[in-house]
Structure 1
Amino acid sequence: MSLITLCIRIALAAYVVTLVALYFMQDGMLLPASIELAGPPTGHHAGYDVEPWHVNGDYAGYLVTPSGAQPRGTFMVFHGNAETAENKLPLAEIFVRDGYRVVVVEYPGQGSRQGKRTMLAALAASRESLGAARAQWPGRLYLVGESLGAGMAAQAIKGNEASVAGVALITPWDSLASVASTHYPIFPVRWMLHDPFDSVAALGRYDGPLVVIGAQQDTLIPITHAKRLADSHSGAHLMLLPDANHEDWFGAMNDAHWHRVLHWMQAD
């Protein structure tokens, strides 16, 4: 056996081993273990109250309600993959201060929620949470998803289009398969994913207000994916944050930005 032949066989073996590892490790890569938290944010805060939210008797996230006021609708927040529901109170505050109750959805195996930490389990929980919120509170229902949560929100809408009054997707993908192909171009990742999580297809029948917020310095989910998602949906509003990346987009949003988002969502 020549040295070249040996090198080729070693390279092919390493390629196959990597393929297998990517297939079986994708849930752990996409949903890393929850970060350490000091404790749940329950109790009274300035202008709002926080309590655990349950679906079918099991903890499923947090319910944030304006103090001393009747909510004028419901926002559901779907967080990103390196976060938990405990991290999203600053985002929930944006909507609760405008008079809405906010449900911060938790995924199985994340934060304080029991269950297996997989993408498909997170998807099932997201859809179940939307159904539970619809049953619990009549009236306008809006969805907000960030990063992985944008993918979960888009998938939850599928089949529930008429019940969603508006949606905002922040640093989103057009499809998970498309993003994975960007990061792993030498592997057939479109065939390896357990689910392509195609947000474009999931929103195909949704004709309500859609806001897409993209961070132009984003290297994790490059801005091209947010643009493709917005371009695929007739009437979508695209907000670009020129100096923000995937992690600091929230700090780049000011009151004027949020007022515009709520207006586009028809929630102002």
Structure 2
Amino acid sequence: MIIRDYLSLRKLEVLILKIKSIIRAVVISIVIGYMSIVCILYFSQDSMIFINQTLTNAEVKIINSQFENCEEVRITTTDNIKLHGWYVKNSELKKAPLIIYFGGNAEEVSNFIHYKDSLKGWDIVAINYRGYGLSEGKPSEKNIFKDAEYIYDSFAKRSDIDNNKIIVMGRSLGSGVAVHLAYERKLAGVILVTPYDSITKVAQEEISYIPVSLFIKNPFDSIKIAPKISTPMIALAAENDTFIPPKHAIKLVEKWGGSHEIKIVKNTEHNTIQNGEGYWESINEFLIRIVESLKSE
């Protein structure tokens, strides 16, 4: 009897050890799997944020032939990186008002030139980010922000630009660049299209099981500086945007330090908002109000 009980106890101990071993192996596998996901996200995040679209010289020639009053622009930054884009003469004034445009994370900005007729009376500057189009270098939040300031400074000092009437317009990723520029430079107005409060917050919503803020390298934290900006702003969000849901735009607008408004463009998505009813009308009404407010100063 005693021997039988002893053997049963030994079997139970062996079983418990096996169970502990299995649990330990499962826990280790989960930890390794989790850390692997974190490592993959950390080292691949740049390629997920910056989906650079390149151009060939032949494609640039085609673009140049499509548009009148469209001039190729090459700007060399302080760290000797050559940026490439376009300056569209869209105003008949000797000193023209100017819109500086910053595109989305997968956008080559020559596409924006197609909308120049929707912005009549305003010259347009659209320069590709580093690594996009024919621009050299590698994109990062720090580099793009510095380049935005340099682009502004380059055009603000031109004799054919009215530097009291410079507007910045940013779409998607570019909305964060526009917010930064509004914080660092004097602007007449800010136009934000499908903007976010921060890339960190948007990413955290998509990857809820990982603390994104601990490893993200390019947070684009627009909401942090929004209360310190007094420049008038309009935000346009797509009603059915699943990439950057409108609530992120609303949170940013609520924190804006200057006069602000938001338009939710009905029946549109992230990449179709420009086709929505009232989109261009809202932008042009904002531009008219900006010009009128400057007259009264």
Runs of at least 4 residues of structure 1 off by over 4 A?
Answer: 35-38, 264-268
- Are 1:225 and 2:248 matched, yes or no? yes
Corresponding residue for 1:110?
132
Deviations 1:213-232 (A, max 9, x none): 11111111111000001111
Give ranges in structure 2 of 5+ residues lacking alignment: 1-19
2:59 alignment partner, SS class: coil
Corresponding residue for 1:24?
43
Deviations 1:62-101 (A, max 9, x none): 1011276535311100000111122211344422x1x111
- Are 1:119 and 2:155 matched, yes or no? no
Whole-Å separation in 1 of the counterparts to 2:184 and 2:91: 33
- Are 1:61 and 2:80 matched, yes or no? no
Corresponding residue for 2:265?
241
- Are 1:144 and 2:176 matched, yes or no? no
Corresponding residue for 2:72?
52
Whole-Å separation in 1 of the counterparts to 2:145 and 2:292: 26
Call closer, same or farther: CA 1:211–1:5 in 2, change over 3 Å: same
1:16 alignment partner, SS class: helix
Call closer, same or farther: CA 1:146–1:265 in 2, change over 3 Å: farther
Match of 1:83 among 100, 107, 117: 107
- Are 1:100 and 2:125 matched, yes or no? no
Call closer, same or farther: CA 1:44–1:145 in 2, change over 3 Å: same
- Return the offset for 1:202: 2.7
Call closer, same or farther: CA 1:233–1:139 in 2, change over 3 Å: closer
TM-score scaled by structure 2?
Answer: 0.80
1:203 alignment partner, SS class: helix
Whole-Å separation in 2 of the counterparts to 1:67 and 1:7: 67
What pairs up with 1:183-194 in 2 under 5 angstroms?
183-194=206-217
Whole-Å separation in 2 of the counterparts to 1:118 and 1:233: 25
- Return the offset for 1:194: 1.4
Deviations 1:175-222 (A, max 9, x none): 111111111111111121113211122333221210011111111111
Q: Give aligned pairs, total.
A: 262
Whole-Å separation in 2 of the counterparts to 1:147 and 1:175: 11
Corresponding residue for 2:152?
130
Is contact 2:188-2:232 (8 Å) kept? yes
Is contact 1:59-1:113 (8 Å) kept? yes
* Structure 1 vs Structure 2 CA RMSD: 2.3
Corresponding residue for 1:196?
219
- Return the offset for 1:155: 1.3
- Return the offset for 1:127: 2.3
1:139 alignment partner, SS class: strand
147-156 or 83-92, larger mean C-alpha shift: 83-92
- Return the offset for 1:36: 6.2
Letter in 1 for 2:59: G
Is contact 1:107-1:126 (8 Å) kept? no
Q: Which has the higher helix share?
A: 2
